[in-house]
Structure 1
Amino acid sequence: MNSGGSALSLRRWWRSVGFAWAGVAHTYRSQPNFRIEVWAAVTALGLTVLLRAPLAPIALCCALVLSLELVNTALEAAVDLASLERHPLARAAKDAAAGAVLVASGGALLVGVSVLGGALWSRLT
């Protein structure tokens, strides 16, 4: 398959960005959990800026959760495409990918509470 030119080609890079953005947009349209996570990230990032708290840990956690949800969606689609029949290994793969999102979400919550909790408490009292 022709790669469309040099790996350093700006045109090729923009084309790749377009494909990636199409994946994000499809996931946003088709996955309710991703929409919830996007708006939770927007809220967390807005609160971080409002409270003048450290942005990096919150942004990193948001990116991690959203990225894992995208990977989870891709894995589920690939497993569904590979076999229409139910199979214990397919279920294990899907459950493990969903578990990765759950673990990252729990970690993000802990980071959010530790980074934003004190700043929010100070503002409220």
Structure 2
Amino acid sequence: MKSQSFWESLMNAFNGFRHALRQERNVKIHFVATFVVVLSGLLFRLTLSEWSFIVIAIVMVWVAELLNTSIEGIADQVSPQYSPEVGHAKDVAAGAALIAALGAVIIGILVFGPRILYYLGGLTID
């Protein structure tokens, strides 16, 4: 296999992301969620440290979801018929994506929760 230039590799990565965004329902959901979270962060004027947590959470979810999508695609090609072992591998990958998403939700609650409570009724949590 021929070695690719940096730009060719970058374009392949972008094309892979674009393919996942067009084909996978969960990737579309994560795209919308990312947009909403970033917009909310701008509106709530998050601090630099809060942005750090949010960015880590977003990246964690994207990496887990894209790896899950890759594993499912490869597994479906290797074993087109149902196989319990392949099914378990796909379930584990989906579980990793779920854990990443739940972790991101917890981070979102910790970062945005106090601000939302304040705007809803002046409640504060210290």
- TM-score scaled by length of structure 1: 0.89
Aligned partner of 2:3 in structure 1 is 3
Q: Matched residues in 1 for 2:44 and 2:116: separation?
A: 7
Question: CA offsets per residue over residues 47-101 of structure 1, 9 Å max, x none?
Answer: 1121112211111111111111111111011011111121111000100000011
Match of 1:15 among 5, 8, 29: 8
- TM-score scaled by length of structure 2: 0.88
- SS in structure 1 of the partner of residue 82 of structure 2: coil
Task: State the shift of 1:15 in Å.
Answer: 1.0
- SS in structure 2 of the partner of residue 3 of structure 1: coil
Task: State the shift of 1:121 in Å.
Answer: 2.0
Aligned partner of 1:78 in structure 2 is 74
Aligned partner of 1:47 in structure 2 is 40
Q: Matched residues in 1 for 2:7 and 2:3: separation?
A: 13
How does 1:18-29 map onto structure 2 within 5 Å? 18-29=11-22
Aligned partner of 2:63 in structure 1 is 67
RMSD, aligned CA: 1.1
Q: Matched residues in 2 for 1:3 and 1:66: separation?
A: 27
| Gap regions ≥5 residues in structure 1 | 5-11
Between the two proteins, the alignment pairs up a number of residues equal to 118
Regions of 4+ moved over 4 Å = none
Task: State the shift of 1:124 in Å.
Answer: 3.1
- SS in structure 2 of the partner of residue 91 of structure 1: helix
Match of 1:111 among 69, 88, 107: 107
Q: Matched residues in 1 for 2:12 and 2:6: separation?
A: 10
CA contact (8 A) 1:51 1:120 kept: no
How does 1:26-37 map onto structure 2 within 5 Å? 26-37=19-30
| Gap regions ≥5 residues in structure 2 | 122-126
Match of 2:52 among 53, 56, 81: 56
- SS in structure 2 of the partner of residue 85 of structure 1: coil
- Identity across the alignment (%): 32
Q: 2:89 is aligned with what amino acid?
A: A
Q: Matched residues in 2 for 1:47 and 1:80: separation?
A: 37
Q: 1:103 is aligned with what amino acid?
A: I
